[in-house]
Amino acid sequence: MTRLSSNHLLGLKELTSEDINLIFETADNFKSILNRQIKKVPSLRDITIANVFFENSTRTKISFELAEKRLSADVVNFSSSSSSVSKGETLIDTVNNILSMKVDMVVMRHPAPGAALFLSKHVDAQIINAGDGTHEHPTQALLDAYSIREELGNIQGKKVVIVGDILHSRVALSNIYCLQKMGAEVAVCGPPTLIPKHIDALGVRVMHNLNEALAWCDVANMLRIQMERQQTKYFPSLREYSMQYGLTMDHLNTLDKEVTIMHPGPINRGVEVSSEVADSDQSIILNQVENGVAIRMAVLYLLAAQKES
Amino acid sequence: MSKRIILDPSHLDIMLKRMAIELAENHGDFEQCALVGLQPRGIALAQRIKSILENDLKVGNITYGELDSTFYRDDFRRSEKILIPSSIELDFPIEGKNIVLIDDVLYTGRSVRSALNALSDFGRPGKTELLTLIDRRFKRELPIQPDYVGTNVDTRAHDRVIVDLENENKVWIITEQQN
């Protein structure tokens, strides 16, 4: 296995476990480079990458941009708020205009599920999905799984619970695909209104009680309540949600084991996790962010390498 | 396809020992020197040279590292297969040290060029030398010459030189039949 099975990174659904392992092994090399004094290699020096963000982002955008720069790629950034999209240009036109300026790869975040797949069928560039609506966020799932592998040694046989707003979360769906392909058992936990119907068809357990979920799992991935995507009320109040599903030190102290705590960010402290939990030794939230750069370097490197082969 | 042995085990052992002695001649107690094997195929040679220095020539405390230059290669997106990196083990400061890069076969010189670039990202060595078991002359594409050579081999472009230090302890030339 020396190449990825796809020329784009659209979602974890399309990747094989061999692909994921190849990305992890390549990321190991980049991680050691990121710990050096000179954190830059010249691999992608003749490649230009456009970061096209139709939705807000801090971590993902900075992480991709750093990954690109550390591979010596040329980078252009684009965000919809300051662009001609507000003048009525279509997605394909926008991207084709960018590509005609000789851009090789597009990293795109878009509010519409399937936007990355759509783009990959209609433009001549490699597409990396940096989040498409409520669908997938592949690099986040890869860095989450990579962080679990780093923390616990392997992913095979581990029990991971994803807690919170599963309904609106692209991180949840990508994580489910990724972790299952790597041999983990996955459960989701949250109020019934925030768990998609028929999610058990994906082979995940459904739980509604946080204590039960914590007793079962090795890793808890706490998701943010995505207020910006919620048009109706899914629970009476944020305070009530926090009382039912907010993770506190009291929860962790009653367990006879150490559960690894993850969060894809941004954190709403005091809602899904308390400050003490977020800053505790069991939390690997900042390791996730650190690993994000190495994972994204690996994805960019492997995709760029197979473009012309 | 024809396969011809150019170095048998006894010949090879003498050659490795001779190169180790040459190194000892120039580097004395090896205090200022570090042996660096180039991934992936220079590692076996570097470890053999290191073990001869330690066991036969009784040199203690040899600084040893392994360098991978995949991300510095100039055939990225130009070669047919994807270049997959190997690990780097260089956990000592190279600043001011005399580095001996070790690779099994020197051919076009391009991988040594990439190794020099990779090395410079770790610091500024005092002096950098190159040790190679096989020098395939007449096909150099860069002005790079070895300081320590096992043997020179004259080959044609479609020949392959296979160095096997781990199992059979031999070196072959494989000649593909041309159509």
- C-alpha distances in angstroms, A70 versus A66, A114, A144, A297? 6, 29, 21, 8
Indicate the average pLDDT of chain A.
Answer: 92
Q: Domains of chain A by range and CATH?
A: 12-136+289-306 (3.40.50.1370), 138-288 (3.40.50.1370)
| B178 lies in some domain | no
Determine whether the interchain pair B121/A36 forms a contact, defined as Cβ–Cβ distance below 8 Å: yes
pLDDT of residue B79: 76
Half-sphere exposure (CA, 13 Å, Cβ side) for B37? 21
C-alpha A10/C-alpha A131 separation (Å) is 9
Cβ within 8 Å of A, B 47-76: 68, 70-72, 76
Decide: A309 and B82 in contact? Cβ < 8 Å.
yes
Q: Are strands B170-175 and B2-7 parallel, antiparallel or unpaired?
A: antiparallel
| B171 lies in some domain | no
Cis peptide leading into residue A266 (ω within 30°): yes
Q: Which residues contact A85 (CB under 8 A, 6 or more apart)?
A: A54, A94
Which one of B68, B82, B123 has the shortest CB-CB distance to A309? Answer: B82
| B161 lies in some domain | no
Determine whether the interchain pair B81/A29 forms a contact, defined as Cβ–Cβ distance below 8 Å: no
pTM summary value: 0.90
3-state secondary structure of A287: helix
Reference B50, options B26, B28, B19, B25; nearest CA is B19
pLDDT of residue B1: 81
Sheet holding A105-110, edge to edge: A74-79, A48-53, A105-110, A126-132
Decide: B118 and B69 in contact? Cβ < 8 Å.
yes
Which one of B68, B81, B117 has the shortest CB-CB distance to A309? Answer: B81
Q: Summarize pLDDT for B99-155 with one digit per residue, the tens.
A: 999 999 999 999 999 999 999 999 999 999 999 999 998 889 999 999 999 999 988
| B63 lies in some domain | yes
C-alpha B102/C-alpha B82 separation (Å) is 24
Angle at A107 between CA A106 and CA A113, to 5 degrees: 110
| B143 lies in some domain | yes
| B167 lies in some domain | no
Chain A: give the shortest CA distance to residue B111, in Å: 14
Whether ipTM tops 0.90, in short, is no
Q: Summarize pLDDT for A34-70 with one digit per residue, the tens.
A: 998 889 999 999 999 999 999 988 889 999 999 999 9
A40 touches chain B (CB under 8 A): yes
Phi, psi of B106 (to 5 degrees): -105, 125
**Residue B38: domain span:** 8-156
Rounded (10°) angle between helices A138-152 and A17-34: 70
CB-count burial class (<10 Å; 0-12, 13-18, 19+) for B72: buried
| B165 lies in some domain | no
Q: What is the mean pLDDT of residues B82-111?
A: 92
Per-residue b or e along B35-47, where b marks 16 or more CB atoms closer than 10 Å to that residue's CB: bbbbbebbbbbbb
Q: Summarize pLDDT for A218-269 with one digit per residue, the tens.
A: 999 999 988 777 777 888 888 999 999 999 999 999 999 999 999 998 999 9
Helices and strands: H and E segment counts in chain A? 11, 9
A7 touches chain B (CB under 8 A): no
Q: Which residues contact A307 (CB under 8 A, 6 or more apart)?
A: A7, A104, A126, B77
Cβ within 8 Å of B, A 225-264: none
Chain B: give the shortest CA distance to residue A24, in Å: 12
Q: Summarize pLDDT for A202-222 with one digit per residue, the tens.
A: 999 999 999 999 999 999 999
pLDDT of residue B178: 64
Q: What is the mean pLDDT of residues A141-166?
A: 96
Determine whether the interchain pair A2/B84 forms a contact, defined as Cβ–Cβ distance below 8 Å: yes
Tokens encoding A215:
């007793």
Q: How many domains, chain B?
A: 1
| B119 lies in some domain | yes
pLDDT of residue A219: 97
Q: Which of A171-180, B92-101, B149-158 has the lowest mean pLDDT?
A: B149-158
Determine whether the interchain pair B121/A306 forms a contact, defined as Cβ–Cβ distance below 8 Å: no
Phi, psi of A298 (to 5 degrees): -65, -45
Phi, psi of A211 (to 5 degrees): -65, -40
Tokens encoding B36:
């660096």
CATH code of the domain in which B111 resides: 3.40.50.2020
pLDDT of residue A309: 44
- C-alpha distances in angstroms, B158 versus A148, B109, B161, B179? 46, 17, 10, 12
**Chain B neighbors of A6, CB-CB under 8 A:** none
